[in-house]
Structure 1
Amino acid sequence: MENRCRGREAKAVTRTGCRAQFRVFYNKDTRRWACSFFQRVHNHNLTPPQLVHHIRSHRGVTGPDLSTALSLHKVGVKPSQIHEFMVDRLGGYDKVRYNKLDVENRLAAKRHASLKESNAETCLSYLDGRKSSDPSFFYDFTITSSNRLGDLFWCDGGSCADYALFGDVIAFDATYKTNAYRKPLVVILGINHHRRTIVFGFALLSDETEHTYTWLLETLMTVMNNKHLRIVVTDGDKAMQNAISKTFPEASHRLCCWHLV
C-alpha cells in the first residue's frame, strides 16, 4: 500500500503514421455498400501472406476448436498441449490461426464467464489487476459443477524467483481456516540463505482431499518450471502425504515438529 509508483511501464510505440485506409458506406438508395475513400500506399513493409495469421487482428480460436479445447482442459490437458494437439490435427502451424496464449486467454475468459457474480469474481478481478502490473504473477483456479469457485492458487514474480533458488526444501502449512468460507488456506513456505522464511505461494482449497492436494502440487510445478523439490515438510495430513508421494515420488517427506506429540 505504501508503493506510490503504481503506473504501468510505457509500451514501445509501434505506429508509423501510415495513411493507408479503406472507407465504405451503405447507400440507402441503392441498398449497396460503396467505397468512399481508398488509399493503397503504405509507409512500411507489409506482412507476407504466409505470416498474416500471426497478426492479432487475424488470430482467433474458432467455435469448434474452442469446444475441443474446453473438453481437453476439463480432463487436465494444459493450454500449450492443446495448441500442439490442434497443430498436429490440422497439419501445421500455418493451419492454426492462433497461438498458445490465445488458447489460454479464451479458456480463462470462458471460466470467468461461467462464474456467478460473487466475491469470487471480485477476487479474480483483483488477481487480473496484479497480473497486469506484474507479468510474472500467476494464478489458477477450478470451478465446481454449480459454477462456483473451487480451488485457487496464486504467487507473484518474487516467489517464482525465490523458488528457483531455494525451492529444494518447502513446507506446507494448511492449518488456517479463519476465513468466512472455512476454506483451508495453504501457505507454501521455504527458507533462504539468510535463514529467513520466504513464501512460494498461497492456495485456498475447497477441501483437503488427495485429489485437491494433487491439483495444488501439479499447479505449483507448472508455474515453477517443473523444478522438483527434494524435501517436503507437512503437518502430517494423510491426503497431503499421498499427493506428495504421487507427484514427487523421489522427495523425502518430513513432519513438522509442532505436530509431533
Structure 2
Amino acid sequence: MGFGVRKHYLNRAKDNVITSRGFVCNKEGQRRKDKRDHLTKEGRAETRTGCHARMGIKFIRKTRKYCVYDFVAEHNHELHKPECVHMMRSVRKLRDVQECEVNLADDAELTQKMSHDFFSVQDGGKENLGFLRVDQNNYLRTKRQRALVYEEWGSLLRYFENQVLKYPSFFYAVQLDKEELITNIFWADARIHIDYELFGDVLTFDTTFATNKE
C-alpha cells in the first residue's frame, strides 16, 4: 500500500541551513476554483480529498540532527495498491546510473520502448525500475534542449533575422518553457504563405522524424 507525497513548506536560517520542512499527502487540501471553468468542456477529475496526513521535521542545532515534530498518519482515502506504487509521481526518479544507461541506449539509437523494456527486464520488472517511459522521454527531451548551445541557436537566429531583412513576408517564432529553454521553433517563408492562400491548409511531412536525435 502507498500514497503520493508533496512538499509543503521549507524554512531556512540566515546561514542557509534548512531549519524545518513539511511534507503532506498528495491528496491534501482542495483544488482552487479556476475562473476559466466556464470555458472547460470536460474538466479534470478531482484528485484531492482534503487529506490531513502529514509530517514535519525540524533541525536541532545542539545535536545537528533533524527530528519529527509533527506527524499525522491517518488518511481519508484509499491507498494505492502495491503493484501501482511505482507509478506515483513522488517516487519516480532516474538514478545517476540509470541516466547513464539511458544516454548509452540513446547513443546506440535504440527506440525508447526497446530501451525501457530492456531496463525493466534488467531490474526484474517495471515495478522495480523507478521510472516510467514518460520520465525517460522527458529526461531525453530536456537533455537535447540543453545541448542546443547558444552558438547553434545564435546562428539560427541570425539566419532568421537576415531572412526577415531580405524577405518582409518571412516570419518566425520561438516557444520557450518555464526554464527559458527552446521547445519549438516555427518559420514560414513566402512560398508557404502562397500555398496557404491557394489551398487554405498546408500539410507538411517531417522526413527526418525518428531517424536522428533532433
Which bin holds the TM-score, normalised by the shorter protein? 0.5 to 0.7
For 1:73, what is the secondary structure of its paired residue?
helix
Q: Matched residues in 1 for 2:69 and 2:140: separation?
A: 40
Query: 1:96 is matched with which residue: 123, 129, 132?
Result: 129
Within 5 A, what are the aligned runs for 1:7-46? 11-46=44-79
Q: CA deviation at 1:202?
A: 5.4
Q: Match of 1:126?
A: 175
Cα pair distance change 1:28/1:102, threshold 3 Å? same
2:139 alignment partner AA: R
Cα pair distance change 1:34/1:107, threshold 3 Å? same
For 1:38, what is the secondary structure of its paired residue?
strand
For 2:106, what is the secondary structure of its paired residue?
helix
Q: Matched residues in 1 for 2:173 and 2:114: separation?
A: 24
Q: What number of residue pairs does the alignment pair up?
A: 146
Matched, 1:201 2:212: no
Give the fraction of aligned pairs with identical amino acids, expressed as a percent: 24
Cα pair distance change 1:217/1:26, threshold 3 Å? closer
Q: Matched residues in 2 for 1:217 and 1:70: separation?
A: 19
Q: Matched residues in 2 for 1:90 and 1:124: separation?
A: 43
Q: Match of 2:146?
A: 113
Q: Match of 2:24?
A: none
CA deviation digits over 1:45-69, x for unaligned, max 9? Answer: 1123342221001001221122111
Q: CA deviation at 1:127?
A: 7.3
Q: CA deviation at 1:73?
A: 1.3
CA deviation digits over 1:126-166, x for unaligned, max 9? Answer: 1769xxxxxxxx97xxxxxxxxxxxx8x9xxxxxxxxxxxx
Q: Match of 1:58?
A: 91
Matched, 1:85 2:118: yes
CA root-mean-square deviation = 3.9
Q: Matched residues in 1 for 2:44 and 2:176: separation?
A: 21
Cα pair distance change 1:27/1:127, threshold 3 Å? closer
For 1:25, what is the secondary structure of its paired residue?
strand
Q: Matched residues in 2 for 1:100 and 1:65: separation?
A: 13
Q: Matched residues in 1 for 2:120 and 2:59: separation?
A: 40
Cα pair distance change 1:31/1:217, threshold 3 Å? closer
Q: Matched residues in 1 for 2:137 and 2:130: separation?
A: 14
2:82 alignment partner AA: P
Unaligned ranges ≥5, structure 1: 130-137, 140-151, 155-175, 180-184, 188-195, 204-212, 220-261
Q: Matched residues in 1 for 2:111 and 2:137: separation?
A: 9
TM-score where L is the length of structure 2: 0.55
Q: Matched residues in 2 for 1:36 and 1:197: separation?
A: 65
Unaligned ranges ≥5, structure 2: 1-35, 158-171, 193-198
Q: Matched residues in 2 for 1:108 and 1:26: separation?
A: 37
